[in-house]
Amino acid sequence: VAFLGPEGTFSHQAVGRQFGAQIDLMPAASVREVFALTQLGKAHYGVVAVENTTEGAVAETFDALVESELSICGELMLEVTQCLLSASGNLEDVRKVASHPQPLGQCRLWIQRNLRLAELVETASTAAAAQLAASDATIAAIGSEVAGQVYGLRVVEREIEDSPGNTTRFLVLGRESPAAS
């Protein structure tokens, strides 16, 4: 199953919820790569985020859907709790905040209240941001607690999303249309 990687993203968590742990994972560098891997048959299925209750539609996914011949085989909702993650676990060490554009938007007010002088750095995924934070003590990542565990980061603050109950809808994509249910 292809998903926006690396491991530790919310897409990775959605794959686990939908398919369980006994599958071959295929992390992709972008949503478009998830589509390509699935379309070419290198992955049986692809899982992509399509919309979020706070930030709305994921434009990259909608653009790829329009151009793709893949079928939507399923969907799932995942409550998204954002954490601020860093190597030290100390808010005062943070000079930059890194994440995918969607979580940066989901945490806009929290960042303005708590880290208004920090530089914002957009990354391809929340897990890519966690990797970056693991390599530089002045960078904090916004992502899941799972991403923090995967990359050896400490949780500076939990539930930093601006809207409680923040939820992302994911689509399961495949080359064949599912049978009627």
| pLDDT score, position 55 | 78
Could you give the percent of the chain with pLDDT greater than 70? Answer: 99
Residue 21 has pLDDT above 90, yes or no: no
Residue 180 has pLDDT above 80, yes or no: no
| pLDDT score, position 179 | 74
- DSSP designation for 82: -
Mark 123-137 as b/e (b = at least 16 C-beta within 10 Å): bbbbbbbbbbbbeee
Interval 29-38 mean pLDDT: 96
Interval 125-138 mean pLDDT: 94
**Selected residue with higher pLDDT from 87 and 53:** 87
Interval 73-89 mean pLDDT: 94
CA-closest candidate to residue 143, choices 83, 88, 97: 83
| pLDDT score, position 53 | 85
Mean pLDDT of the chain: 93
Residue 131 pLDDT class (50, 70, 90 cuts): very high
Residue 67 pLDDT class (50, 70, 90 cuts): very high
Residue 113 pLDDT class (50, 70, 90 cuts): very high
Interval 32-43 mean pLDDT: 97
Contact in structure between 72 and 176 (CB atoms under 8 Å): no
Residue 178 has pLDDT above 80, yes or no: no
d(CA 94, CA 133): 10
| pLDDT score, position 132 | 96
